[in-house]
Amino acid sequence: METKRTQFTRRQFVAGAGGAGAAGLVAGGLGGFFGGRASEDEGGGGGGGGGDITVGAGVPVTGPFAGDGQEMLRGLQLGAEEINANGGLAGRQLKLSELDTKLQEPDVMASVMRKFVSDGVAAIFSPFTSYPSTEYDIVAEAGMPMFHVNTYQGNLDYVKEKGITNIYEGCPSQIWYGPGFQTVVNDIIASGAWTPASKTTAIVTSNDPYSLTIAQEFQKGMESEGWETLVFEEFTIPQADWGPVLLKIRQEPPGIIFFSDYTPSDEASFMNQWQEAPTKSLVYQQYAPSVPEYLELAGESGNGVIWSTVIGGIFDDEIGQKFVAAYRAKHDQEPGLSNAGAQYDLIRLWAQAAAMAGDPYEFAQVNQNVQNMVFRGVSGAFKFQPGELAPYPYPDAIPDPSIGMPHLTFQIQDGKHVLISPPPYSKGEFQVPAWLQS
């Protein structure tokens, strides 16, 4: 999809957000929606009776994604606690039922979803899901809303082809990573801040469908503009020894190194080893630097890296600052830049839709409310598009930041993540990395 990139000022953005309210509710503080008279029935949490309202939290708390999983769980917990502190949902308290999804293997995911459905939860939050969408039919038949950020086009295609109306991807799919970075590269070159030594790329990617699609889309887009691919290297996660691929990169240094993966340990170890003899290349790493573990592992080797996420935290406005303050007070550290805020947003989005329905177990009405809403959270604007039930990325596919989720691009500068694109969210500018200055 080809779109014209539109530059927005902050004043235009505020005006656009006001306009979006006519199509649906634009929410920041949500306390007024959740209060209410508690049911006289003080029974259990499942079903439509009184007592606590249970929602399922299927999160990878063990395995290679545990660092991200911790962020997910903390975001869900913080959102639930905020809702409960404001009087609960229709006067009832939220309770999380937490299950470990580990590596999101299809049999594990099916088991997790059957457990949630059997327990009669009001909603399911499963940030990562299986690639074959094995568990989706279980949830689709039960009817309760399910929210994930698996960021995989195959999941969206499954939902669309099956006509599923209750499973939502809380972010655009991974197909937008390549085109998004391509736009950022072109902007940097056009600004005169950096000129590539050659129009060549080295692409390093894990071999799972998610990462591989990102790498292939980037390769296709760059080659369409006259760039040559010198290296296209696939690996299986986890990976620790980058010697063979670094040998190829150093033999014929590319203008850009594009690294497509989502595990902090892989991306950090690559940078640590590459920095021993860096090439004159701009370096991009996809998503993983959003997890706090990345900077802990990469240290100074991460400085200069450009990275992006199609769902990330915007922490410099009122909504973001409130979230960061609450997270810091509870955990004595800063939140990561993706999944903590994403899950905090999604559980509050669902709670607003459920409160509008009057009963969180009126699944048809809750789902209709979710699909009609525009929700402004820590991660920007959520507006679920018909069919796929995922937001469109701004500015990659939609020019309006009030109804498009921003595809955020950061650069690590002096050990900090600086948001460099897109406006009006950007807070800093691209800096030429030290290895390109010598």
- Tokens standing for residue 247: 């040998």
Is 10 inside any structural domain?
A: no
Together in a domain, 244 and 350:
no
Taking a C-beta distance cutoff of 8 angstroms, is the pair 292, 265 a contact?
no
List Cβ neighbours of 279 (8 Å cut-off, separation of 6 or more): 249, 250, 253, 254, 257, 435
Same domain, 167 and 183: no
pLDDT in tens, 227-251: 999 999 999 988 889 999 999 999 9
Could you say which DSSP state residue 76 is in? H
Report, as an integer, the average pLDDT of 389-412. Answer: 96
| Residue 47, pLDDT score | 56
pLDDT reading at 25 higher than 90: no
Mean pLDDT in the chain?
Answer: 89
pLDDT at 140 > cutoff 90: yes
Residues 148 and 238 placed together within one structural domain of the fold:
no
192 and 123 co-located in one domain: no
pTM: 0.86
Residues 358 and 386 occupy one common structural domain: yes
Please list the residues that pair with 206 across neighbouring strands: 235
| Within-domain flag for 6 | no
Judgement on whether residues 92 and 211 belong to the same structural domain of the protein: no
**Number of independent structural domains in the chain:** 2
**What's residue 198's pLDDT?**
97
- What are the residues whose beta carbons fall under 8 Å from the beta carbon of 437, sequence distance 6 or more? none
pLDDT (average), residues 35-63? 67
- Is 321 in the same domain as 298? no
Q: How confident is the model at residue 48 (pLDDT cuts 50, 70, 90)?
A: low
User: Which CATH number does the domain housing residue 239 bear?
Assistant: 3.40.50.2300
Q: Domain span at residue 286?
A: 176-309+407-436
Do 161 and 239 belong to one domain?
no
Q: Do 305 and 420 belong to one domain?
A: yes
Check residue 438 and give its pLDDT: 72
Residue 3 inside a domain? The answer is no
**393 part of a folded domain:** yes
Residue 203 pLDDT greater than 90, yes or no = yes
Check: CB of residue 343 under 8 Å from CB of residue 80: no
One-character DSSP codes across 140-203: HHH---EEE----HHHHHHHHHHT-SSEEESS--GGGHHHHHHHHHHHHHHHTS---SSSEEEE
Domain for residue 15, yes or no? no
Question: Is 225 within the bounds of a domain?
Answer: yes
Same domain, 231 and 262: yes
Better-predicted residue by pLDDT, 262 or 387: 387
Residues 106, 146 within the same domain: yes
Do 40 and 159 sit in the same domain of this protein? yes
Give the pLDDT score at 68: 92
